Chains A and B, each alone.
Chain A
């Protein structure tokens, strides 16, 4: 395997493929769909909380508040000079709630001096005040070094599939945009990559290429094109839809593994068709089972279908990516997802290697 030849083929195809309208359409379709989902489904933040506070600006309690807000609370913190100013802002409804920290509050908590933190809220209360109250209590425990004498394990039980609530947990917008990311990976692998490969054979440029390269170098060059398009497209889609994975390593691992597995399938498909037009025509049939499972990964489905769908790489990829996006295990037993994807990688590239060996003989 000669790296300069592989890279030359890769560079050629990255430029050439994008000039092919069929490849361009396969890239743009999911991108447009993602933007559409992004705009029609509302932002899933629970609420916006405008909070004023007086006292030490860099208290650990303030940091706790910011950390707990995460992606679900749009927290707008405003430091004021006095408790009077804080009360005025609450009264004028410029903020939803306010709190007043005594001087050296962090040290006082650590030394057990039991300082008083005043929470100021409107007469009828507010969700923001509840959030501040809960967060401050957690912050106080953390600063004082207290560990709870017991922990509460929260279990959510849903009718039907245990994962039926994933869409609700993740939010409709994020769920469907993520499914569209998987759709894009599918279209690149099962449409764009086979077109790039088949066109080379159809136009007989492969003959010229094989005078200097071997089949393995050509195939690897094409696979790298798929990987590059996948990486660039996912980054672009996340940027355009403002989707921010909380657990980036998990998200990247799921995306990369799924892309590599699907590209292997796409390269195998590329060898089955004689012309790029055939790929374009028939790949829609292949795309359906490739893309479909991603959209139902978090929805309740009959048990039999659930078992069948678990064999599909896109469903398992979607599960890993969902966990990565949420930053918590919305799907359990995620090792099964990794195992299924690795099995797809092994099968696809094993079959490809076998076919290449036959062709070279």
Chain B
């Protein structure tokens, strides 16, 4: 599988501060790749470098087949981004926002109408963007990011600050895009979101990647293998699956018909992150 994003030793320094410290990874075509980390871990700086808005201090990034620095103008038509903060032209209607970017990218104006339909904003097309709710603004930004049918879509905290319903709608949209083959590079604070959407995630801590794999693999590798057992006397016991003594205990309870319920306690991505970064997100 060819790489949509290929990053080698990427580094960004601001004076003595290393915002991004020599990270290396690749994202395959059609993959949903998650970059997770605390505030200030270097996620947004990484996206800024990959989208040509910041020049790396060292290292190399190839995006959609072209160098993100030296071939920036060839990369631009092939990528797009959804930003952390709503950045729409407030005094323009939703449709005007999209048509402006359609003109910039040189795509037909009717693409704007199609995208408003896709994100469920057709009825609000002529309303000024400043009258939109947070969820509507986020969906409009997603529509804008699709205006040039990008091969690689960067999404920086796309559900931050949204109510659960709006966040679910945005996640559904991301899943749909992924199914349609768009490579998605996602940063998020929400571990459940990364778990649900990403094929692979990288944990970024103090500018360095401390783990990178599929969510399930990370959970298996770093999570605790335990199970919760509820007994007939209403007591709850936690047993370790890799402890022979605990296994014998469970077998005994089952022989004696003492077990009411038994739930495996798979580790969460958050547990993995805490184990690696030392503190939760």
**Residues of B contacting A5 with CB < 8 Å?**
104
Main secondary structure of the interface of A (DSSP, over half): helix
Q: Which residue of B lies closest to A212 (CB)?
A: B104
B101: interface (CB < 8 Å)? yes
Cβ-neighbour of A205 out of B55, B79, B87 (below 8 A): B87
Decide yes or no: A12 and B81 within 8 Å by CB, A203-B90, A207-B87 being known contacts: no
A208 and B91 form a contact (CB under 8 A): no
By beta carbon, the residue of chain A nearest B75 is: A211
Interchain nearest-CB distance for A133 vs B (Å): 64
**Contact between B100 and A212, CB atoms less than 8 A apart:** no
Which residue of B has the minimal Cβ distance to A217? B104
Tell whether A356 is near chain B: CB-to-CB under 8 Å. no
Does A4 sit within 8 A of B, measured CB to CB? yes
Q: Which residues of A contact B105 (CB under 8 A)?
A: 212
Among candidates A8, A20, A204, A207, residue contacting B100 with C-beta atoms closer than 8 Å: A8
Could you tell me if A204 and B92 are in contact, using CB atoms closer than 8 angstroms? Answer: no
B83 CB contact (under 8 Å) in A8, A11, A16, A207: A207
Given contacts A204-B83, A205-B87, contact A212 B101 (CB under 8 A): yes
On whether A213 and B104 interact (CB within 8 A), knowing A204-B83, A207-B53, A207-B83, the answer reads yes
B161 touches A (CB below 8 Å): no
Which residues does chain B contribute within 8 Å of A210, judged by CB atoms?
A: 52-53
Q: How far is the CB of B45 from chain A (nearest CB, A)?
A: 13
**Would you call B88 an interface residue if the criterion is a C-beta within 8 Å of the partner chain's C-beta atoms?**
yes
**Given A207-B53, A208-B144, A210-B53, A8:B87 Cβ within 8 A:** no
- Render B75-103 as a binary contact track against A, CB cut-off 8 A, 1 for contact: 01101110101011111100000001101
**CB within 8 A of B85: which of A11, A20, A204, A213?**
A204
Residues of A within 8 A of B85 (CB): 204
Q: CB distance B91 to A212 under 8 Å?
A: no
Binary contact readout A10-23 vs B (1 if CB under 8 angstroms, 0 otherwise): 01100010011000
> Within the assembled complex, what's the spacing in Å between the Cα atoms of A361 and B54?
8
Which residues in A have their C-beta under 8 angstroms from that of B106? 4
Q: Return the contact of A208 from the options B73, B79, B83 (Cβ within 8 A).
A: B83
Chain B residue numbers with a CB within 8 Å of A4 are 103, 106
Please report the C-alpha to C-alpha distance between residue A19 and residue B79 in the assembled complex, in whole angstroms. Answer: 31
| Chain A residue, CB-CB nearest to B154 | A211
Please name the residue on chain A nearest to B105 by beta carbon. Answer: A212
Which of the residues B51, B91, B100 comes within 8 Å of A211, measured between beta carbons?
Answer: B51
Q: Are A211 and B76 in contact (CB under 8 A)?
A: yes
Please, how many angstroms separate the alpha-carbon atoms of A20 and B90 in the complex?
11
Q: Which residues on A sit within 8 Å (CB–CB) of B87?
A: 203-205, 207-208
Residues 198-235 of A, flagged 1 when their CB comes within 8 A of B and 0 if not, give 00000111011111111000000000000000000000
Per-residue contact bits, chain B 209-246, to A (CB 8 Å; 1 contact, 0 not): 00000000000000000000000000000000000000
Q: Is the CB of B101 within 8 A of A20?
A: no
**Do A211 and B79 form a contact, CB below 8 Å, given A8-B104, A12-B100?**
yes
Cβ A20 vs Cβ B104 within 8 A: no
Contact with A along B238-262 (1 / 0, CB 8 A): 0000000000000000000000000
The smallest C-beta distance from A217 to any residue of chain B, in angstroms, reads 9
Known: A8-B103, A211-B80. A205 touches B88 (CB 8 A): yes
CA distance A16 to B88 in the complex (A): 12
A28 to B89, CA, bound (A): 24
* Nearest opposing residue in chain A for B83, CB measure: A207
Q: How far is the CA of A210 from the CA of B48 in the complex (A)?
A: 11
Are B51 and A16 touching (Cβ within 8 A)? Answer: no
- Inter-chain contacts of B53 with A (CB < 8 A): 207, 210-211
Contact A12 B89 (CB under 8 A): yes
Distance between Cα atoms of A8 and B89 in the complex (Å): 14
State how many angstroms separate the Cβ of B261 from the closest Cβ of chain A. 50
The 4 A-B pairs with the shortest beta carbon distances in the complex, nearest first, are A204-B87, A8-B103, A19-B91, A212-B104
A-B contact pairs, 16 of them (CB 8 A): A8-B100, A11-B103, A16-B91, A16-B92, A20-B91, A207-B83, A208-B83, A208-B87, A208-B101, A210-B53, A211-B52, A211-B76, A211-B80, A211-B81, A212-B77, A212-B101
